[in-house]
Amino acid sequence: MSDFLSPNLVVFVATIAAVIVSFYLATGRVRKQAIASQIKSHSLNQYYGFYVALWVLVPAILLALIWMFAADPMLASAAKARMVAAYPQLPDSFLNLKMAQLVNIAAGYIKAPDAVMAAQAELLRAAQASADRARSLTLAAVMCVGFFYAFRRVSPELRARVLCEAFLRRLFFLSAVVAILTTIGIVASLLFEAVRFFREISLFDFFFGTHWSPMTALRPGDAGAADEFVAGSTGSFGMVPVMAGTLLVAVIAMAVAVPIGLFSAIYTSEFASRRVRNIVKPTLEVLAGVPTVVYGFFAALTAAPFFRDLGLFVGLDVSSQSALAAGGVMGIMIIPFISSLSDDVITAVPQSLRDGAYGLGSTRGETIIRVVLPAAFPGLVGAFLLAISRAIGETMIVVMAAGVAANMTINPLESVTTVTVQIVMLLTGDNEFDSVKTLSAFALGMTLFVITLLLNVAALTASRRLGQRYE
């Protein structure tokens, strides 16, 4: 019951209730004023409600953000200072563990091991209760001020629609700025760590090296033993095998997904009846909701043994972990993305284009090939790009079905690894963050980002030059 009626939940419900009440009070006020004064309102009644509701909601959100980034850290800092005073001999490495234990004790999840922790937990609960009361009172005051300010301004002459639309334009602009800054931050973080990596490893060795072994640190031997490898201090960071495995798995996945997804989209949009479409399309989209780990199990337990047994039957040596198994299952995974998006794009082609082609004597097949698909080409390119991005970024299926060995091969029957798998391996575990092998993950991520960007640019250029435009 205490969790259900937590202070945060109560504040949230109260805020939403205040916004709703403000909306209806404002609409009622402008309606009565318009009737009494016989003046036509400048905007629809709901815009006046939105105007007052925004003056209640926006200050509440700003206060919550300020409280999150200012008051909560101050509360945690004060609790930490009290813990240092209570346990003066406690090392810093154990202080964080004690703080986590203190938070759990204060929340009532565990019992205090001693009287000192019980006292500190009681102090933390009291401080949190005081902070919650202060937040609630401040929030109520801010919402009341915003409500009375906006409510007094409500009148039929108020240009509420213009004010609401101006607020939305600023909100959309702010959202775009946040998205751009987030992208810049991600790229900058990758670039910064990648530069640190390239200070230790040359660009030539990374981009053109054919051996990837950051864990075992294999390096080429001396001139007298050119074909042998010896242990090195910095590892071997040639990304060619990793990138080759990534592209191989992605190509196999697209070879499976593109024909099936595109043909199924053409069938559901051009040939299937409405009843069949309503059954087939949701059935295909169910595949999009299956977790990737389930596909990984399917690839490791079903697809990989099937391809191995099939290879033995026809006389081929197929590895128990192969790019073919991983790519095939990954292709099944991204079929719904291509199918659903392609179906929407094809359906969006104006029916007048089809009718015009039929009027000129074209068959249904000729209309689809020569009219519908060229008109839908830019959207189809977007669907294919989304599928490629999903295939390149997939990790779980590759780990479970293709392995982690960085083999320099384009044979789909052998085990390979991908960029994302190596990034996960390098950034998990007890690896030191400042080591060269850990920094190599950022170099791989930056390279993958650049390749994906180039694919998007190439696809956009192709869609502009090859796509048909109809006015």
pLDDT tens digits along 7-25: 677 888 888 888 899 998 8
Structural domain count, the chain: 3
- The residue among 173, 172, 148, 138 whose CA lies nearest residue 63 is 138
- The residue among 180, 182, 197 whose CA lies nearest residue 446 is 197
Residue-wise pLDDT for 239-283, tens only, equals: 888 888 888 888 999 999 999 999 998 988 888 888 888 888 888
User: What CATH number has the domain bearing residue 244?
Assistant: 1.10.3720.10
Residue-wise pLDDT for 123-137, tens only, equals: 888 888 888 888 888
User: According to the model, what pLDDT value does residue 216 have?
Assistant: 55
Chosen domain end from 125, 156, 187: 156
Tell whether 170 and 136 lie within a shared domain.
no
Q: What percent of the chain has pLDDT over 90?
A: 5
Q: Is residue 218 part of a domain?
A: no
Burial of residue 95, with CB atoms counted within 10 A of its CB: 0-12 exposed, 13-18 middle, 19 or more buried:
middle
pTM of the model: 0.70
**Both tokens of residue 430?**
């007890």
Q: How far apart are CA 77 and CA 464, in angstroms?
A: 56
Domain span at residue 191 reads 159-199
Which of 13-22, 48-57, 188-197, 287-296 is predicted with the least confidence, judged by mean pLDDT? 287-296
Tell whether 343 and 358 lie within a shared domain.
yes
Tell whether 424 and 448 lie within a shared domain.
yes
Q: Is residue 84 part of a domain?
A: yes
Q: Is residue 205 part of a domain?
A: no
Q: How far apart are CA 14 and CA 4, in angstroms?
A: 14
Tell whether 149 and 192 lie within a shared domain.
no
Tell whether 276 and 396 lie within a shared domain.
yes
Q: Which amino acid is at 379?
A: G
Q: Do residues 305 and 329 touch, judged by C-beta distance below 8 A?
A: no
Q: Is residue 211 part of a domain?
A: no
Helix, strand and coil content of the chain, in percent to the nearest 5, comes to 75, 0, 20
Tell whether 316 and 457 lie within a shared domain.
yes
pLDDT band at 175 (very low <50, low <70, confident <90, very high): very high
Q: How far apart are CA 59 and CA 57, in angstroms?
A: 6
User: According to the model, what pLDDT value does residue 421 have?
Assistant: 84
Contacts of 421 (CB under 8 A, 6+ apart): 395, 398, 399, 404
Tell whether 264 and 166 lie within a shared domain.
no
Tell whether 263 and 132 lie within a shared domain.
no
Tell whether 142 and 175 lie within a shared domain.
no
Q: Is residue 231 part of a domain?
A: no
Q: How far apart are CA 118 and CA 288, in angstroms?
A: 49
pLDDT at 164 over 70: yes
Chosen domain end from 199, 216, 251: 199
Tell whether 120 and 181 lie within a shared domain.
no
Tell whether 336 and 280 lie within a shared domain.
yes
